[in-house]
Amino acid sequence: MSTMTETLAAVGGTRYKEVKNALLAALAAQEWKGGEAIPAEKRLAERFGVSIGTLRKAIDELCAENILIRHQGLGTFVAMHQRDRHFFRFFRIVRNDGDKTYPTVSLVNFRKAKATREVAARLQTGEGAPVFQFTNQLALHGVVVIVESIVVPQARFPDLTETALRNRPSTLYNFYQDSFGINVVSTDERVRVGQASELEGGLLGLASGAPVLEVERVAYSYNEQPVEYRLSHVNTQEYDYVSSYARPSSGG
């Protein structure tokens, strides 16, 4: 391959990444919301000044990442959180016998707070930035198994209230999408051994200081924008953390 051909190939390979980033930026700006169709390929190719082939390569990657969905004969749509397909992509706690089920979620507390240094680093906000902090307990098969402490920036969730959280009709990520236009498209999790606090022990039926599985999660929207910090403590006496259940199901 000649040097000129190699250069052109490198430029072409880079160009679709630029288009992908531009599409993500448009999604982050809520130019197209969950469930809406993005413009036709010809129109988008003209907008970004690229060939249809380059545009399709960018869209292909976004479809592979479950950010966009192609519907034959209808067009390409912004993915939405759907109960089956997305919930078990992010929920990884499964009973020892392999049975997975939806948790019953109850709000324990809710308050306004200021970001600690650790939370500010995870959410990429300034230390002391206003945040909402709340605790959920999650019951599986009728028993409380998980206690989650969740922090979200007030700047991204300006109208969040305790009442809205307590009465939400759907999963938390569906709630983020429907009420605030925020789509969680990826998460980063770190798993370690932790200790139950007095509150967590009481909710989990364990002694204060008892060993629990600690799962630290940062949830990201488009362009890797952090939108949620979550610290979960799990009673693993009858439950496991199973990463393979992160795969989306085939259901719509």
* CATH class of segment(s) 3-78: mainly alpha
Quote the pLDDT of residue 32. 86
Q: What is the identity of the amino acid at 239?
A: Y
Q: What is the identity of the amino acid at 92?
A: R
Strand partners, 241: 93
Structure tokens at 98: 């392999």
Which residues does 194 contact at the CB level (< 8 Å), separation at least 6? 211, 212, 213, 214, 233
Structure tokens at 109: 């507390």
Give how far Cα 101 sits from Cα of 51, 81, 140, 148, Å. 45, 17, 7, 17
Quote the pLDDT of residue 87. 55
Quote the pLDDT of residue 248. 40
CATH fold of the domain at 83-246:
Chorismate lyase (3.40.1410)
Nearest Cα neighbor of 215 from 89, 90, 124, 130 is 90
Quote the pLDDT of residue 243. 79
CA distance 77 to 63: 9
Structure tokens at 85: 């397909």
CA distance 9 to 11: 5
Give the CA count within 13 Å in the CB-facing half-sphere of 185.
Answer: 22
Quote the pLDDT of residue 101. 86
pTM attached to this predicted model: 0.75
CA distance 180 to 157: 7
Structure tokens at 106: 């109850």
Domain definitions of the chain by residue range: 3-78, 83-246
Quote the pLDDT of residue 132. 98
**pLDDT truncated to tens, each residue of the chain (252 aa)?**
333 333 333 444 688 888 988 888 888 777 888 788 888 888 898 998 899 899 989 988 888 877 888 888 888 888 776 554 555 567 889 999 988 888 999 999 999 999 999 999 999 999 999 999 999 999 999 999 999 999 999 999 999 999 999 999 888 998 998 899 898 888 999 999 999 999 999 999 999 999 999 999 999 998 889 999 999 999 999 999 987 644 343 333
